[in-house]
Each structure stands twice: as C-alpha cells, then as structure tokens.
Chains A and B, each alone.
Chain A
C-alpha cells in the first residue's frame, strides 16, 4: 500500500495556501507535517482526506480514493456531549463498518477504561481527546490522518499516544500528522512548511 501525493496545491478564496507539495509513504511509514500557525498544515490534511478540493495535483492510495482507507482525527473530536462515551464509540464503530477492536479494549489502550458510562460532556479536554483517539482503533483503517492529535493532552498521554502511533506504523499502517508539537516517534519523515511571505 502506498500513499502518493503529487504536486498538491490548495486555495482558500483567492489566496494560494501552498503549492508543489509531493510525498510518498509506504506501509509502515509516517510523516510529521510541521510549521508555524497558518502555514497550511491543516489544509494539507483536509486536501489529502478529500474535504477540500486540490487546486492542483493529485493524491491517491494505490490509485484509489484514500478516504475509504482512512481515519481522520480533526481539531474537533466528532463526539456528542449528550451521549455517553460508550454510546459515542459504539455509534462510530457501527457507522464505519467492520468492527476490529472492542470498545473496552480501545478505552484501555488510551487509559480510560473507567469512563465507559460517563456522559461525554463530563470529561476534561484531555480525556475528550483521548476518547477521540480511541475511535481510531475501533475499525481498522490503514491510513491515519491526524490534525494536531496531541492538543490538550498531558505529558504522559502524549507518550502513550506516541506509542500508539508507533505501534500502528509497525503494524503496517501509514500516519500523516500535522502538529506544532513534535511527536516522539522514531523514523517519521518530516514535511516542514516555511513561514509564509504575505
């Protein structure tokens, strides 16, 4: 499995956010997208996921649309405050098709097995983020697109998350993470956006 982006460009209104971005990632490889605020990290991820149209260039996984192989973790968590943690995760697991991991096991992986029946709204910011991370395990998708995945996490949770990312890559997954905080995983490629001249 290979994720290939060629010569990607993205426009927001009349402004070109970035252009000429190319990269290729094979199974087991990851890439960190870094750069200052407003440089286009999130936009790159949204173009790769297919939420934003690419102004130029293509992105594909073995010639197919990558959405069907991907998990996307955006700046928002995609969970409903009125439902419990378990209800939220059950919903996404059912919606994304074939279940791969039990909800209990996924919660254990992020160290939150005790919040199973707590309403999502009662969790702290960091806990909410960890529940959103737990969603990535529920259904197997080889490509993970992560936008500021560690925002709101404390030091320990960041380490756990680095372990999760590294395990996913070892199992043959592909990770693309946009972040301004480096994630401590060996062997990640780097894509650096420079400060944009206005």
Chain B
C-alpha cells in the first residue's frame, strides 16, 4: 500500500466532494438551496451556517490526518520523532474539547433562536391565510376554510402572504413538504399541526409527501402555485363558479385508497369537515393540547348541495 496512493485517493475524494458542492450551488434543480420565501430562507441560512462551522473542524482534521499519516509512516529512515509512550497532553485535550464546544455553542444559539422564530408567521403586518391540509391514501386534500373551496394535489396561494398550513391525516402519517418555501411537518391522524410558509414571488413550487404511507406513496406529489393577491382572488371566484362542491360522500370516496392522476378542484366544502376528521381520528381525546386559533375556527358557508359529484379518476398504479 503506497502512502502516496492513499493521499492521492484522499485528494480525489475531496475534489469530488467539492465538485458536488459546487454543482449544488449553481443549479436551479437544488430547490432546497434556492429558497423562495422567508421560512425557506431562514432554514437556508442555518444550513449554510452549519456548513461553514463544520468546515472549520472538518477541513483541518482531514488535512492534519493526511499529514500525520504521511509524516509518521513506518518506513526505514523516517526522521520524524518516535515517542511510543507519549500518550497524554492536557493542553491538547483542552484544545480539542474546547473547539467543538465553542462551535456547537455557536450553532446551538442560532438553532434555538430560529426554532422559536419559525413557530410564528414570517411577516406580522400582512393578514395570513389558512389552508387545511389532509393527507389521504394517496393524495393531498387542501381545504380553504375562509374561501370555502377545496383542491386535491395542488394548492394556490397568494404571494407575499404568510400561509398557515394546518395539517392532519385521515390515513397513515405523512409529511407535508414544499422545499422551495420551507421545511416540512408531519400530518398525523387526530392532530391538527401548524406550519407557516410563505412565497415571496409568484411561481410554481414542487411539493411531496415525505413520510412513507404505503403503496401509492411515491405518487403523492403536488404543486403549490403562488400568484399575486388579485389573481389569487380571481382564481377563488373562478373556482366557485366553475367547479362542483365537495360533499361528505365525495370525501368518503376521496378517502378510499387510490392515486389521483389529475388535480381536482371543488367549489365548496362540507361544514366542519376538517375538524370532524381530526376528532374522528382521536382529536377528541386530546383537544386540550391543541391550540387552534381563530383563523382555523371558521364560519361555515352555505353550500351548493345540488351539484353533482365531480368525477374523479382514481386508479392505483402497479
């Protein structure tokens, strides 16, 4: 085993890692690294901070290891000192207990600060909008309690407005993730959890389920479309006019396991459906632990009961 060969391979590995990193920095496909809203931006800043802080340790350690192995290699005539019984140094020990403590302390400070920040809406001076998200087998139902409409496998949001996603599941747990706008949160039966996200600019953002939930899991992708407020309002009006309502029966069909190939839009939704689903799955047992604020306790609208159920293309892929 030639040491130079080892060193060479270490170099190759390091170069490959850097190349991967560079690639990551300059392509639009790296959606986590191209934040499109304040939440994703905060998370991105933390990611980069942790990369830099780790690099402070990692790079010297790698370099030092390579140097030590090279300098103290066991070859005849190596003039480097050999001290077989040297095994203790208080100063060195203090250095390498100390450096990680300082770095972890720094990272810990920002972590804790931002953990608390992200539980609040990203901007305080704009009235937020609420969207209730239910993960089903294997599709996403989005209910707009204030607009009184619903969609499946896509959601439209106004750009520049904080969106409070209230999450639950009427199926095995999943996780709701829109990488461009910010990190994910689990959808769990019997619970209504909150996730604040916001898009700075209009655009179409990729979303997916992130926690395995069975056979059709891979097909649980959705789009989040951000539009200027006026266009969003028009879209809501349009939806109300041109689509069929979501009924209790329609919901029961939607819950049945299957994959939805085309997005669906509903012009209205049944009164209290979301809360009912949460309660049904166990929310009634620990209501006291959930702090639903006013925006999620919505007034119910009159619904158009006459429209027929929209035909859905449900089909399990094999």
Question: Do A and B interact?
Answer: no
